[in-house]
Structure 1
Amino acid sequence: MHLAVYLPLLFPLLAAPGARWLDDRLHPRPATMLLTGGALVLAAGSTTVLGLLALAGLVRIPVVARLAELSPAVLQRDDPASVSVAVVAALLLPVVVVAGSRFVYRRVRAVCAAVLEAACFPGQDPLVVLEEPAADAFAMPGLPGRIVVSTGMLASLDAAEREVLLAHERAHLRGHHYLYTAAVQLAVTLNPLLRPLAEQVAYTLERWADEAAAEATGDRRRVAVTVGKAALAAGKSGGRRRLPAAALGLLGRSPRPETPGPVPRRVAALLAPPPKGGGWRGAAAAACVAAAAVCTADAVQDLHEVVRRAAGG
């Protein structure tokens, strides 16, 4: 293997500047898909490289090499990975695999619990109104999915703003946005350097639903006002406490409860014209993701060639 094997470990370092670089110039729907797909590719690439480095170190152990009928001399000559790097990779790999497995297990349980809870609400109407003074509104995945709104939230909005809220939550259900959240959080579990992508996806998902509500109602300013009023109502009433792990709501999720979150950015984006440009930024980001995938495939091929030469040597 040559030194390019390390590139998939370095590409995630571009996640933080790359996530905000897309900003609001790209429509939130393709931005969400690009960021989520990119996070999965980068996480898979870095995990694969850890496995390759660990395997490369393993076959250089004389006992293992003899059992696999490989030439230690060829492995020592053609494999640039030092023993120390292979040891570090071998220690990190099981941690990553266990963390990813635990996340998948917990996320599946959370989704199943949300689906079960949605099914337990009486009736078939997708809208469920909770008698609760705290301002809350969120969409729960299920068959059918449910839009849960508290009486406190309904009381804080007028009739037109309630239509905006419902259009926003319907967009979450139609787009299966909880799957994007789960996918990008899995990527972060496998590689914590990708956390900026998860934060940006949380924002673009809300922007996606905002734009869907604006298209459905034909009034971007009304959507901006609704988002702002809902945030103020939730802040005053102590809302956003019932939001299940698999659900998404009008206010999104603030990574730090003491901060106002992305609501001001969303309001500003809604008061601006709809995003239409940024195509070249998306193409550049996609090219970086493709380069990471190519480097990973090249690393796999290199290891295969090293093992083939060692078997013949």
Structure 2
Amino acid sequence: MTWAVWAPLLAPWITAPAARRLAALLPPRQAALLLALSAAAAGSLAGAALALLAAGALLHVPFVAAFGHVSPALLPAGPVTLALGAAAVPGCAVVAWTAAGTLRRHDSRHLHDELRRTANSRAGDVVVLADDGADAYALPGRPGRAGLVVVTSGMLRSLDGDERAVLLAHERAHLACRHHLLALVADLAACLHPALRTVHEPLAFQAERWADEVAATVVGDRRLVARAVGRAALAASAAPAAGRPPVAFAATAGPVPRRMASLLAPPVVARPVAKRVATVLLLCLVVSATATAEATDDLHENIETAQGAVARR
């Protein structure tokens, strides 16, 4: 089992850059989904490998072995196995702690309650804050509570009517496409393996590009969307708003010049090189999954052998 668990623990160092490279070759919707799903798969497999190592080590602890009716003397007890397992136990605790913090950070329930108290006005899913600073963002909802588009009065004054329509279409796209769930998946994956932290930034960019494309479809004018994105970013830079929740997706986020250039350029089409990168990415995930399955089977067999010895006594 010791050697099998190395693959899912090492693979994210290849999976993450391969996913980022492939995402850059795809349209934004496919790119965002690819990044989130790749991170989720690689993170889950790495987390499973870490848990297997920890379980193998804990079974050598007398009271844990007694609880599982296992004879520790019959379990593999090489120095490498025990050393990795001993390190995996606190590693699992750190993963659980950081994942819990990530879930708390993504919980927007208290933000909705605060908006009810501080909002200047509300019309449908749009909440206007009395703030001379310029900002606009999408605040995700929860079951029984719809998401909101939050915009400051300063931002509304900075844009004309057509640009406001683009702004609202962009933020509504974030809510409709559930971009906050993709961000949550990527952030949880980063808790499971440090290499996957590099997925967050490109995923955020692709989510903004995805929302830009939806807004362009809604208003029917890509140049108008590019102009609105640029003017909103300039307004937010000149007069920053008080603060933006960490779970929010904002129209002025990400590298705005790149977003504008993408809107003014022809739509992205998948290139032939994307197939080669996709093959590397898929191979990494398949090898990780196979190794995790093998390690799980090995641990299961070892436990059954040790339990059988206890039962025969």
Task: Report the TM range for the smaller structure's normalisation.
Answer: 0.7 to 0.9
**1:304 CA displacement:** 0.8
Structure 2 match to 1:289 = 285
Correspondence 1:230 to 2:229: no
1:144-155 alignment, distance < 5 Å: 144-155=146-157
Structure 2 match to 1:44 = 44
Q: CA RMSD in A?
A: 2.7
Structure 2 match to 1:250 = 251
CA distance in 1, matches of 2:94, 2:227: 45
> Amino acid of the residue matched to residue 141 of structure 1?
P
Correspondence 1:273 to 2:273: no
Distance 1:153 1:45, change over 3 A: same
**1:137 CA displacement:** 0.9
Correspondence 1:116 to 2:108: no
Structure 2 match to 1:182 = 184
Structure 2 match to 1:256 = none
Structure 2 match to 1:255 = none
CA distance in 2, matches of 1:146, 1:105: 19
**1:298 CA displacement:** 2.6
CA distance in 2, matches of 1:138, 1:158: 18
CA distance in 2, matches of 1:76, 1:15: 30
- Misfit runs of 4+, over 6 Å: none
CA distance in 2, matches of 1:266, 1:275: 12
CA distance in 2, matches of 1:10, 1:20: 17
CA distance in 2, matches of 1:215, 1:52: 48
**1:232 CA displacement:** 1.6
Structure 1 match to 2:58 = 58
Q: Unpaired runs of 5+ in structure 1? A: 253-260
Deviations 1:206-225, CA, capped at 9 Å, x for gaps: 11101111121222222222
Deviates more, 1:54-63 or 1:220-229: 54-63
Structure 1 match to 2:301 = 305
1:100-111 alignment, distance < 5 Å: 100-108=99-107, 111=108
> Amino acid of the residue matched to residue 27 of structure 1?
P
> Amino acid of the residue matched to residue 155 of structure 1?
R
**1:141 CA displacement:** 2.3
Structure 1 match to 2:164 = 162
**1:134 CA displacement:** 1.3
1:78-93 alignment, distance < 5 Å: 81-93=80-92
CA distance in 2, matches of 1:284, 1:217: 38
* Conserved? CA contact 1:2–1:302, under 8 Å: no
Structure 2 match to 1:127 = 126
SS of the residue 1:82 aligns to: helix
Correspondence 1:10 to 2:3: no
**1:250 CA displacement:** 0.2
CA distance in 1, matches of 2:65, 2:237: 63
> Amino acid of the residue matched to residue 299 of structure 2?
L
Structure 1 match to 2:195 = 193
SS of the residue 2:11 aligns to: helix
CA distance in 1, matches of 2:222, 2:281: 28
Q: How many residues align?
A: 301
Distance 1:97 1:215, change over 3 A: same
Deviations 1:178-223, CA, capped at 9 Å, x for gaps: 2222221122223222111111111111111011111212222222
1:259-270 alignment, distance < 5 Å: 261-270=254-263
**1:16 CA displacement:** 4.4
Calculate the TM-score normalised by the size of structure 2: 0.84
CA distance in 2, matches of 1:67, 1:237: 62
* Conserved? CA contact 2:208–2:251, under 8 Å: yes
**1:33 CA displacement:** 1.8
**1:155 CA displacement:** 2.7
* Conserved? CA contact 1:119–1:144, under 8 Å: no
* Conserved? CA contact 1:126–1:147, under 8 Å: yes
SS of the residue 1:3 aligns to: coil
CA distance in 1, matches of 2:40, 2:261: 30
* Conserved? CA contact 1:251–1:263, under 8 Å: yes
Structure 2 match to 1:34 = 34
CA distance in 2, matches of 1:67, 1:246: 42
Deviations 1:249-288, CA, capped at 9 Å, x for gaps: 1022xxxxxxxx5222222222221123156345653453
Deviates more, 1:172-181 or 1:123-132: 123-132
SS of the residue 1:276 aligns to: coil
**1:299 CA displacement:** 1.9
Percent identity for Structure 1 against Structure 2: 41
